Amino acid sequence: MNRTEHIIIMNVNKFYAQCVSTDMVRFQLKCVTSTHYTHPFSEITEIVVKERQKAKENIEELKLKIDAISTLQEKVKTTHFEQLHAKSKQCIEHIEFVSKDLQSCIESKRSIKATEVEDNEKNEQENLKAFVDNTDSVHKQYTQILSELENVLLEKHDVTFYSSYRSIDSDIQTLVNIPEEPEEAQIPIFKDKFLYQEVQDYMESKIDNRLCQNCSVQKMKIEDLQSEITKCKELQRDLEKKDDELGKLSNDMLSLELDKLNMQSKYTNLKNSTYQKDAENKKLADKIKTLNKDLEKKNDEIKKLSRAIHSAREGGQSVSTNAQLPMFSCVCRRVYATREDLVNHKTRSGCM
């Protein structure tokens, strides 16, 4: 019996045990008996089918996860171990290289310092040897004169003694003074801190950003401050640009304000001129109305005269000489008493 079948049997027993409760509970829990209290056995079968399908899906998911775990283990065994070994070996080689480089630097500094001491020793030895050689020469001179004095004292003949001694005494006067003891040989002063400092300078030359290497917190603070300084400089540049733009905008606004004032002045002048034109036009319109009225009166008079002339011609009567007869006529058959009236008529009507 596998785990799935065991779970199904436990659920069946659970449903069967709960089936003895109320009808509502029996209906909700789906009793497993085929004809128990009017509900069929197929209800639990449907549930089991769903659970079996779910179990199969779980099996597939678990298989996929097991395969993924196996693949991951294989990758770790092959790739990660190899990378760990390769990178560790590379790191060790780098450490060895840096150590050898540092040892080479120390050996070079040691050799230089030791060579300085050895060279100084050779120079001092040569000086001491020269002093010893010089004292040997002086010693020989003193020994020789001493021997001559001892021999001359053995001379019995006075004249010979005197002449010999005078010669030796002259040599005694020319003897070199006994050299003073030379000072102790000096050796170069060696202070270990100088060697340490030179090695430290060499190590720092191999390190980027040497500032505060032993204080990462201080270094981070300095970097933050530098970043803030950079931001402040950028803000300063932005503010300067904004100030320039504000100055330009102020100049533009001033120019626009002047243009506005000029436009207002022109508008006021134009408005006043319009008022004047309107007044002039109104006056001209009034004059035209007056002239039109005068023309209408003249036309009425002319019509009356025309009718009078026409009546006189038909009746054979002559017109009174006191009447003002029209002397100017138009092609449109209108007659005017004066030339000025005829010209005004032609101008208005377009008659030629």
**Residue 218 pLDDT exceeds 80:** no
Contact 3, 16 (CB under 8 A): no
pLDDT tens figures, 103-130: 998 999 889 989 999 999 999 999 989 9
Residue 20 pLDDT exceeds 50: no
- As a whole number, mean pLDDT of residues 14-35 equals 45
Look at the block and give the residue holding tokens 């120079």.
123
- Closest-CA residue to 85 (of 77, 74, 95): 77
Q: Lowest mean pLDDT: which of 74-78, 87-91, 213-217, 334-338?
A: 213-217
- Which of the listed ranges 21-35, 116-130, 257-271 does the model predict with the highest average pLDDT? 116-130
Q: How far is CA 100 from CA 34, 39, 151, in A?
A: 89, 90, 74
Mean pLDDT computed over 204-227: 70
| CA separation for the pair 198, 219 (Å, rounded) | 24
Please compute the mean of the pLDDT values over residues 57-84 and round it to a whole number: 91
Query: By C-alpha distance, which of 201, 225, 229, 227 is closest to 213?
Result: 201
List strand residue ranges (DSSP E) for 187-331, in order.
Answer: 328-329
pTM score over 0.85: no
Mean pLDDT check: name the lowest of 18-32, 200-214, 275-289.
18-32
Weakest-pLDDT range from 233-237, 248-252, 325-329: 325-329
Lowest-confidence segment of 150-154, 238-242, 330-334 by average pLDDT: 330-334
**pLDDT score of 352:** 61
Task: Write down the pLDDT at residue 26.
Answer: 42
pLDDT score at 42:
62
Q: Rounded CA gap, 235 and 289, in Å?
A: 77
Return the DSSP state at 181: P
